[in-house]
Structure formats: structure tokens, C-alpha cells
Structure 1
Amino acid sequence: MRKGQQGIALLTVLLVMSLALLVTAGMLRSHRLALHSSAQQLHQLQLRQSAFAGEAWGRERLHTLLADPKLPVAAGQAWAQSRPEWLIDNGHIEVDIEDLAARFNVSALLTQGAVDEVLKQRWLRLQTQLDLPPIDASALQGLNLSDISQLRSVPGVDARWYTRMQPWIALLDKDATLNINTASVTLLATLEGVTPAMARRSVSERPLQGYASVEDFTFTPALIGLGLQATGLGTTSRWFRITTHVRVGQSRLRLESDMARDLKTGRWHLLQRRLLAPEHSEPS
């Protein structure tokens, strides 16, 4: 074979080998990507399963500790006192339970008819406490809301207003009342004649097992003579939010599960579930 032909043959062999290496490298890269994708999917699955386990624990806790729907629901009771934490592989789970009846019930303002003046004034006082430009209750009348986030479409509601108000409001049944046994200082200070100082005192002196009736609350020494109205107030609740915080490695996930008790059967059922995407943070 001539030298020229030998050179061409060698170049051909080298070209074929280069192409083979490129194909092999591409296959290896695709394989690594597939493995990485599978690992990510397993990671996401672990986060979700852990979050659902926390939700199930919270539901069972409500079922066990709030067995009698006629009894008061109070912040000093066992269901509200602990924030359990479980260690899992490379992470942990935490669960919070919140009484949603401790928030202002926006549904009471959505009626087509006249809104109770007492509730309208409490709505305005809540906004004033939070240093927000007040949006009158009339702006909400007749609205058909299925989620509290839809308040963003109301004229005058901007990002700051919604962010400030969101922790203090809920969208419950229209007959849901503010639970005085779990309401915060902020919500109690919206009541007639109640100052923030009075509200703080009321919270600090509130019985661990709660007031048996609204009258017991309104006739406490700190509140007598204020003209406090019993309208829209109650001592129990059947609406709760179970919030499960999951950490696995550098990933975070928060699951918010809104639960309600059926008055006829006594069973707890899921109203809605918000599964937030995991947040990734850089190692410190």
C-alpha cells in the first residue's frame, strides 16, 4: 500500500474513532442527565410524601383532641400547644395547627344584602391597626370569592395591602364567628372599645380551656362597660389549617391544608391544599 493510501486509511480510522467517542460521550451524558432527573424526582417524591404524612398527623390530632364539637376551642388546649418535629433522612418535618376562626371572616362581608354595621366597623379597625388605607366593606358586597387571594382583584387592593392583611383574614362559611378563645391581640383590638393594651390583657388572662360563652368573655372585669357587642363572636371552631414544613437537604417545602369538621358526621375533611414548590438555598 502506498504511503498516501496508508495516510488516508489512518485518517479514516481516526475519524471513525472520534465519531465513536463523541457518540459514546453523548450517550454517557444522556445517561447522567437521566440519572439526575430520576434522583430529582425521587427527591420531590420524598418531600411530598413527608408533607402528606404531616397533614395526616395533624388531621388525626384534631380528630382526637377536639372530639366534641360543642366544647370551646381554645389556644391553651393540647392541639395548639405543641409543634412536633420529626427527623427524617437528611432533614426534618414540623407541623403547625391554626384555628382559622381566629381570623376575620371575610365571607361575612360578601352578602348581597346589608352587612352588619358592627362587622363593617371591625373590618375598618383591622385595616387601621395594620396602618393600611381602609377599603370599605361595600367594595366586597356581592363578590363571589372561592379563595382569599381573589381579593387582589378588588379596587384599592395592592401588594402591600394584601400582604399585610392576609395573615389576619380567612374565607369561611358566612355564619362563622370570630373565636374569642383563639383570637390574637390584633383581632381582639378590633372589638368595640377594646384597645391593644386591653386586648393583650385579655389574651394573658384568657382561661387555658377557653371561655364557655361569649357572655363570660364580655363580662370580664377588663371589658365591662365598653359596649362590646356579641355579634360575630363565638367560642368554638370547626375550621383549621395544618401547615407542614419539610426540609430535605437544602430543599424546603410547605404544605397548607385547610380542614373543616362536618357538623352532622363529626368527620374532618379537606377543604383545599396548597403545595408550595421547594425552595433551594445555598449552603452556608
Structure 2
Amino acid sequence: MALIMVLLAMALVVMLAGGMTKHQSVRIYKAGHYLAQSQGYSIALGAEAFAGQILFRDFEADREDNLFIDSPNEAWARYSAVLPLDNGVVEVQIDDLGGRINLNDLVNPQGQPDEVTRERLTRLIEVLGIGNLSVDAIIDWIDPNDETISAYGAEDGQYLLQNPAYRAANQPFTSVTELRLLEGISEDDYQLLSLHVAALPVSGAGINVNMAPQAVIQALHPELTEAQAESVVAQREDERFETVQDFLALPEFAGLGLKAEGLTLKTHFFEVASRITYDDRVVNLVSTIYRSPAGELSTVRRDTGQKNRITKERFAVSDN
């Protein structure tokens, strides 16, 4: 009887020890995973700072030349950087946001639609072949009132019928991803439009015509054809525009009366996409960076949910 009791006690101890070991192993794994993710995120912040230094050096070069221009032929715009790392690799890419149409330019500080931006975004949607999205629905998403701007607008009444229900933001876009919530937009339409628009925290920054995609160039005037927009982009690749007047003087714009309003050659907002492969784990970080007219850099927001953002040709950076 005593032997049986000893065996039962031993079995109980073994079971408890086994359970504790398994529980401890899970905790060790979680701790290790959290540590690796934290280290990866810290490295991503370093990659963001590295990109900031590139942008600052670009500003210093422009200041030395006394010509503040951002264009596709600059190294930061052409390549992504690959940096060596113990037990991993760092990939960094800087993307221009100045060549896109800023959604928050649609409504002026007085809460009224900006007609120039409204017309340009309407044409952009047409050029991209997006059929079900109305610019008025985008304006209603931003403007502070609860009344639709037209029969093509959308306010709380439409969105409260969704499942789950939600309301219009009635404030500026904080992220382009909010477009997914708008009345009439599909995921394919969003993916296409998101490459040509931005959600900048300020209005009036202007469209950098040196960096604008072909569709944005074509959207600047209703009489511009696809072939003419292609020609403008081809000329820009051969030689960047050094003044807005050089851009407007192109033969493709002759007789159109295209105005310089809302056009610029300088970019102030950039996206820095970082992918950190470290200890067999991957950490992604997309940061929106603002570069002031004085060259000062500040981070507007960070997003760890975006993947597959490194798309440009790789350029290896030595660790020496």
C-alpha cells in the first residue's frame, strides 16, 4: 500500500513537472519572440534615421547649388539601400509623396471644396478608369458638415447602413487607407488610386511636377491625352524641369491655358519603407517624414502593418 502511494505521488510530481516545463517553454518562446521583434523595430528606427540623413544631404546639396528641386534622377528616388547586419539585413526605400494629389487639398480651411483640386482628382479618377467612386464622396468624408455636397456625395446616412455601421470622418484624412471606407470604391480601385494620391497633414504643398506619375500629369488638364502625358514624362527623364515655367512651356501644353496654381518642383513629404530581416524574423516599418523648407526633418507617423514596399532596384551600402 505504501509503495502504491509513493508511485502515485511520483506520477503526480512527474505530471506537474511536465506541465511546468511546457508552460515555461512557451513563455521562453514568447519572450524570445518579443525580444527579437523589439530589436527589429529598434533597427527599423535606425533605418528611418539613415533615410533622414540621406534626405538631409540632398537638402544640403540643393542649398549648395541654390536650386531646390526634387526629381526622379536623384539617387534616393532611384534606388533602395541594402545594409549588412549581423544575423540579418536592412532594406530601406524612400518614396516621394510630393508628386501625388493630396486628398486633404480637396477642402480649404474654411470647409469649402477647392475647385482646382476637385477638378484634378475627378480627371485622375477618369484617367485611371475608376467608375464607381465620386470625388464628392471624398469631399463629404473630409468636410465638417453632415450634408452631402451633391447627389453623388455620401454622409452618415450611407455609412450607417453598412455592416458594421460607421460614420463619415468629417475631418482630414490621416491615412490613404481611409479610402477603403468610402462609398463606391472597390479594393482594386483603392490599390490603383492609392499610388497617385497622398494624405498629407497640411494643405497647399502643391504637386511636384518632376515626380508626378503619368496619370497625375494627364489629370492636370482635361484636354491632355495619354500620349501627351507620356511625352511630358519622357522629356522629364531626359532633363528635369528646373522651373515651373519650363514645365508649362512644353509644347504639349500649348494653347491649354494651364496655370501654375498648385504646381511646384520641391517635395516636403516622403515615405520611408524599411524591411528588417533579423534572427529569422521580418519587421516592416513605413514612416512618413516631413522635411521643412529649412531642411529640418520630423516623423509624422509610423505604420508597421504594410508589407512588400521595397520595390526599387537594390543598392548595397558598405558597412565600412
Q: TM-score, normalised by structure 1?
A: 0.85
Instruction: Please tell me whether residue 17 in structure 1 is matched to residue 10 in structure 2.
Output: yes
**What per-residue deviation string (whole Å, max 9, x for no partner) do you get for residues 222-280 of structure 1?**
433344332221111111111112223653332111111233x531111111122889x
Return the index of the structure with the highest Cα Rg. Answer: 1
- Aligned counterpart for 2:234 among listed residues 204, 211, 220: 204
**Secondary structure of 1:206's aligned partner:** helix
- The 5 A counterparts of 1:189-268 are 189-192=218-221, 193-206=223-236, 210-248=240-278, 251-263=281-293, 265-268=294-297
**What per-residue deviation string (whole Å, max 9, x for no partner) do you get for residues 74-120 of structure 1?**
1112321331112324432211111111111111112322422x432
- The equivalent residue for 2:127 is 129
Contact 2:59 2:295 in 1 (8 A): no
Q: TM-score, normalised by structure 2?
A: 0.76
- The 5 A counterparts of 1:146-225 are 146-147=173-174, 148-172=176-200, 173-192=202-221, 193-206=223-236, 210-225=240-255
Contact 1:75 1:208 in 2 (8 A): no
- Aligned counterpart for 1:56 among listed residues 43, 49, 53: 49
* Structure 1 position 36, deviation (Å): 1.0
Structure 2: how far apart are the matches of 1:196 and 1:52?
Answer: 40
- Aligned counterpart for 2:21 among listed residues 20, 24, 28: 28
- The equivalent residue for 1:5 is none
Structure 1: how far apart are the matches of 2:191 and 2:173?
Answer: 18
Q: Which amino acid letter does the alignment assign opposite residue 122 of structure 1?
A: R
Residues paired across the two proteins, number: 270
| Unmatched runs of 5 consecutive residues or more in structure 2 | 144-169, 309-320
Contact 2:36 2:279 in 1 (8 A): no
Contact 1:101 1:240 in 2 (8 A): yes
* Structure 1 position 212, deviation (Å): 1.9
- The equivalent residue for 1:39 is 32
| Unmatched runs of 5 consecutive residues or more in structure 1 | 1-7, 280-284
Q: Which amino acid letter does the alignment assign opposite residue 21 of structure 1?
A: V
Change over 3 Å in CA distance of 1:39–1:277 after alignment to 2: farther
- The 5 A counterparts of 1:61-140 are 61-67=54-60, 68=62, 71-111=68-108, 112-116=111-115, 118-133=116-131, 135-139=133-137, 140=139
* Structure 1 position 53, deviation (Å): 1.5
Deviates more, 1:235-244 or 1:190-199: 190-199
Structure 1: how far apart are the matches of 2:17 and 2:102?
Answer: 63
Percent identity over the alignment?
26
* Structure 1 position 170, deviation (Å): 0.8
Q: Which amino acid letter does the alignment assign opposite residue 192 of structure 2?
A: R
Change over 3 Å in CA distance of 1:278–1:83 after alignment to 2: closer
* Structure 1 position 131, deviation (Å): 1.9
Change over 3 Å in CA distance of 1:30–1:257 after alignment to 2: same
